Structure 1
Amino acid sequence: MSTHVIEIENLSRRFGKKQALANVCLSVPEGAVFGLVGENGAGKTTLLKHILGFLKPQSGTVRVFGLDPVADPPGVLSRIGHLSETRDLPPWMTIRELFEFTRAFYPKWDPVYAEELRMMFELTMTQKVSTLSRGQLARAGLLLALAHRPPLLVLDEPSSGLDPLVRKDILDAIIRTVVDEGRTVLFSSHLLDEVQRVSDQVAILDQGQLLLTSPLDEVLVSHFRLTVSFAEPQPFFPQLTGALTWTGSGKEWDIICNGQRQELEAALKDLDAEILAQTAPTLEEIFVARMKSAARSSFKD
Structure 2
Amino acid sequence: VRVFGEDPVKKPESVLKHIGYLSEDRDIPDWMSIGELMRYTSAYHRGWDQSYADELLDTFSLDPAKKVKTLSRDMRAQVALICAVAHKPDLLILDEPPSGLDAVVRKDILNAVVRTISEEGRTVIFSSHLLEEVERLADHVTMIHQGRVTLDSSLEMINENHHCFSIRFTEQQHAPPKLENAIAISGEGRFWSVIHQGSTDSFSDVLQRIGGEIVESRHATLEEVFVSRVGREDLREQTIEGSK
Higher RCO (C-alpha under 8 Å, 6+ residues apart): 1
Q: Tell me which stretches of 4 or more aligned residues in structure 1 moved more than 4 Å.
A: none
Q: 2:169 aligned with 1:230, yes or no?
A: yes
The residue aligned with 1:154 is 93
Structure 1: 5+ residue stretches without partners: 1-61
2:215 and 2:111 map into 1 onto residues whose CA distance is 39
CA deviations over 1:99-146 (Å, ceiling 9, x no partner):
111111111111111111111111111111111111101100100001
Q: Which has the higher strand share?
A: 1
Structure 2: 5+ residue stretches without partners: none
The residue aligned with 2:215 is 276
User: How many Å apart are 1:263 and its aligned residue?
Assistant: 4.4
User: How many Å apart are 1:68 and its aligned residue?
Assistant: 3.7
The residue aligned with 1:94 is 33
Query: Taking structure 1 as reference, are residues 297 and 63 closer, same or farther at Cα in structure 2, changes over 3 Å only?
Result: farther
User: How many Å apart are 1:70 and its aligned residue?
Assistant: 3.3
Cα contact 1:223–1:281 (8 A) shared by 2: yes
Which of 97, 120, 136 pairs up with 1:197? 136
2:179 and 2:229 map into 1 onto residues whose CA distance is 15
**What is the TM-score with the length of structure 1 in the denominator?**
0.76
Bigger mean CA deviation after superposition, 271-280 or 158-167: 271-280
Q: Which has the higher helix share?
A: 2
User: How many Å apart are 1:69 and its aligned residue?
Assistant: 2.8
Amino acid at match of 2:154: P
The residue aligned with 1:70 is 9
Cα contact 2:161–2:199 (8 A) shared by 1: no
* Root-mean-square deviation over aligned CA pairs: 1.5
Amino acid at match of 2:136: R
The residue aligned with 1:137 is 76
Which of 231, 243, 259 pairs up with 2:182? 243
CA deviations over 1:190-246 (Å, ceiling 9, x no partner):
111111111111111111121111111111111001111122212221232111112
Partner SS, residue 190 of structure 2: strand
CA deviations over 1:14-59 (Å, ceiling 9, x no partner):
xxxxxxxxxxxxxxxxxxxxxxxxxxxxxxxxxxxxxxxxxxxxxx
Amino acid at match of 2:219: A
1:269 and 1:196 map into 2 onto residues whose CA distance is 33
User: How many Å apart are 1:64 and its aligned residue?
Assistant: 2.4
CA deviations over 1:247-299 (Å, ceiling 9, x no partner):
21111001011114354334323322222221122111111111112222222
Partner SS, residue 109 of structure 2: helix
Which of 100, 108, 114 pairs up with 2:53? 114
